[in-house]
Amino acid sequence: MDIKEAVFWLLDFAGYKRTESYSTDLTLKHSVKKIAPEKNNIKFVLPQQSENNNFLYSYLQSKRKISKKCIDFFVDKNLIYESKGYHNIVFKGKDENGITRFASMRGVFDKNGYVFKCDVKGNDKNYGFNFVNDKSDELEVFEGAIDLLSYCDIYDDYKTNKLALGMIADAPLETFLKENQNIRIIRLCLDNDGPGRVASSVLKDKYESRGYKVIDLPPPKEYKDYNDWIKSLRSKKTITMEKYR
């Protein structure tokens, strides 16, 4: 992170509410240049895996309203797991050869607005949490991993390619498209807040100019993101719906 990102991350972690004005200038920090992997000779080592995924299932099902079927899918694909010790959820981003290049962690013990989130040291931010199906030419793009899971659950969609950027910058998207040249359709499933809407506009123009069919597909306007949407659907005890997309 640069200094500004680091300060904001620490403020968020400490539970402070912050306000930042977002310019309508359609630029993204990493929209062109690739992000250099973390330096200082930090070796990328995945956190040790817990003996089971009990805390992972409990958090995603009770707090995030993700179904066991959806969680099972990603656990079975070895894309998420629970770390030993702190019991964080680890989300893995693999390259075209199935080698994990990126990993982020998300705590399961949220309390009074305190949230633990961070990337594993030494990761390559040109990758993001992803699911690859080389038989599909469609790709859905999200800001966060839990929104990606929420989308899969809402639409019962475990066939199309999916990518969580972990930010509103497209270095991971550039890498994914380079490594998966079968992609023809991109759905931008970014948040309904200011940064998400600006990023969607920028990315839509950028990738349409490259010949992709790009669809802006945020959740319904009354929800900030896909996880907000699925929590609302589950509270109403209904998840069956026509394809919004």
Which of 118-127, 214-223, 231-240 is predicted with the least confidence, judged by mean pLDDT?
231-240
CA distance 115 to 198: 25
Query: Is residue 38 scored above 80 in pLDDT?
Result: no
Q: What is the pLDDT of residue 6?
A: 75
Hunting for tokens 């690859």 — which residue is that?
132
Query: 188 pLDDT exceeds 80?
Result: yes
Residue-wise pLDDT tens digits, 109-168:
877 767 888 999 999 999 999 999 999 999 999 999 999 999 999 999 999 999 999 987
Lowest mean pLDDT among 106-115, 182-191, 218-227, 235-244: 235-244
Q: Which CATH number fits domain 3-15+44-235: 3.40.50.300, 1.10.10.10, 3.40.1360.10, 1.10.760.10?
A: 3.40.1360.10
Residue 169's pLDDT is 83
Average pLDDT of the chain to the nearest whole number = 87
224 contacts: CB under 8 Å, gap ≥ 6: 191, 192, 193
If pLDDT is split at 50, 70 and 90, which confidence band does 34 have? low
Q: Are 156 and 233 in contact (CB under 8 A)?
A: no
Half-sphere exposure of 18 (CA within 13 A, CB side): 15
Q: Is pTM, for the whole model, over 0.85?
A: no
Percent of the chain that is helix, strand, coil (3-state, to 5): 30, 20, 50
Please report the pLDDT score of residue 32 as a whole number: 43
Cβ atoms of 210 and 184 closer than 8 Å: no
Q: Record the tokens describing residue 98, joined without a space.
A: 């199935």
Dihedral (CA of 186, 191, 195, 201) sign: positive
Residues of the chain with pLDDT > 70: what percent?
Answer: 81
Decide which of 37 and 63 is more confident.
63
Structure confidence by residue, pLDDT tens digits, 68-109: 999 999 999 999 999 999 999 999 999 999 999 999 999 998
Q: In this predicted structure, what is the pLDDT of residue 89?
A: 97
The domain locations on the chain are 3-15+44-235
